[in-house]
Amino acid sequence: MQYESYDAITAERRGRILTLTMNRPEQLNAIDQQLHEELSRIFYDVAGDAETDVVVFTGAGKAFSAGGDLEWLDAMYGDPKAFARTVWEGKRVINSLLDIEQPVIARLPGHAIGLGCTLALFCDIIYAADTAKIGDPHVSVGLVAGDGGAVIWPQLIGYPRAKEYLMTGDLLSAARAAEIGLINHAVPADQLDDVVYAMAERLAGGAINAIKWTKASINLGLKQVANAVLDTAFNFEAMSQMTQDHKIATQAFLNRETPKFTGR
């Protein structure tokens, strides 16, 4: 399998381990139209890659991903056709992460925010540098956490905590996220690669079919939850994308101001 068609994601092979890197470091790997489209197909391609047994998924530079690119979000305001395309791609992103049989290890060198957080949480094992912040502040930009947050957070940390963090948009330290079970491990930043690739090598050297099919069996229940929630959650997010509060928030953040919401 070749990955030359990808520009915003790089692929590097290390034996049977494939490292996928979101490659917009100057933008903290914020997800724009191009990266979003590429994310909607990369894991389907990897699923058919007979040379890959384990995937490491990460971001270039000092962040995993800062979430949706605000300029892209602002440009989509009031454009239902553009947002419909984004919703279609978003469902593919989540379903591809649930369907891919190869184990996917998330390597978080820094912050994982919004959609970036969702991408990390749908991976199978999540390691974060202890300097990272993790959270889903969709509400801070006037949006519903509809691109997967409403699915995965309750499954990992329970409904009361999920509601608190998703309704406030508060960020967690990597240590706190590991403590409550949102991620697997927070490790010193200078040890991140050692522990990530030690696990990747362990899995790649194991009974890989048993490992893959164990993952697939576990994900059956999660896929049922995702199928029940995603359509409604994405529809609510699409509705919130049309509100004045969303426009107010994106403009405020782009201008480095504090948004003043109107409730409309």
pLDDT in tens, 234-257: 889 888 988 999 988 888 888 888
Calpha distance 220→165 (Å, rounded): 26
**Low-confidence spans in the chain with pLDDT less than 50:** none
What's the burial of 102, exposed, middle or buried (CB within 10 Å: 0-12/13-18/19+)? buried
Calpha distance 141→118 (Å, rounded): 16
Structure confidence by residue, pLDDT tens digits, 149-158: 999 999 999 9
Structure token pair of residue 81: 């056709």
Quote the pTM value.
Answer: 0.95
Which CATH number is 194's domain given? 3.90.226.10
> Would you state the pLDDT for residue 43?
98
> Would you state the pLDDT for residue 73?
84
Number of domains observed in the structure of the chain: 1
> Would you state the pLDDT for residue 102?
98
Is residue 114, in this structure, part of any structural domain at all? yes
Residue 232 to residues 116, 123, 150, Cα–Cα distance (Å): 21, 22, 10
> Would you state the pLDDT for residue 210?
98
> Would you state the pLDDT for residue 75?
85
Is residue 199, in this structure, part of any structural domain at all? yes
Is residue 169, in this structure, part of any structural domain at all? yes
User: Which among 69, 34, 90, 35 has a CA at the least distance from the CA of 234?
Assistant: 90
Is residue 42, in this structure, part of any structural domain at all? yes
> Would you state the pLDDT for residue 3?
95
Calpha distance 177→132 (Å, rounded): 10
Count CB atoms within 10 A of the CB of residue 4: 6
Tokens 């004045």 belong to 244
> Would you state the pLDDT for residue 104?
98
Range of 177's domain? Answer: 9-204
> Would you state the pLDDT for residue 181?
98
